[in-house]
Amino acid sequence: MPKFVIEREIPGAGSLSAEDLKGISQTSCNVLRKMGSEIQWLHSYVTGDKIYCVYIAPNEEMVREHAKQGGFPANNVAVVSTIIDPTTSE
């Protein structure tokens, strides 16, 4: 199944409190439960004004539907074509 990186522009994301992030996470998980097992949230990276989320889903439309139902921005959705890491150099 394809893996996606979603860029969410959220001003001040890096300053969100642990409670705020917990609430966002709970909203996301609630939407995912309603959508079924075809879409999975793996993890997210919180930066200054953006959150980058990694999802597994059958298609981009499902990723965008999750964002719509959760009230999250999905400014850019990119399919991951390859994953590299330090072991790639071996």
Domains, in order of start, for the chain: 3-83 (3.30.70.3090)
Q: What is the mean pLDDT of the chain?
A: 97
Summarize pLDDT for 54-72 with one digit per residue, the tens. 999 999 999 999 999 999 9
Q: Please answer whether residues 1 and 79 qualify as being in contact, where contact means their C-beta atoms are separated by less than 8 angstroms.
A: no
pTM score, two decimals?
Answer: 0.93
Provide the pLDDT confidence category of residue 73 given band limits of 50, 70 and 90.
Answer: very high
Q: Containing H/E element for 6? A: strand 3-9
Find, among 82, 86, 63, the residue nearest to 73 by Cα.
63
The 8-class DSSP code of residue 46 comes to E
**Encoding tokens for residue 15?**
């300053």
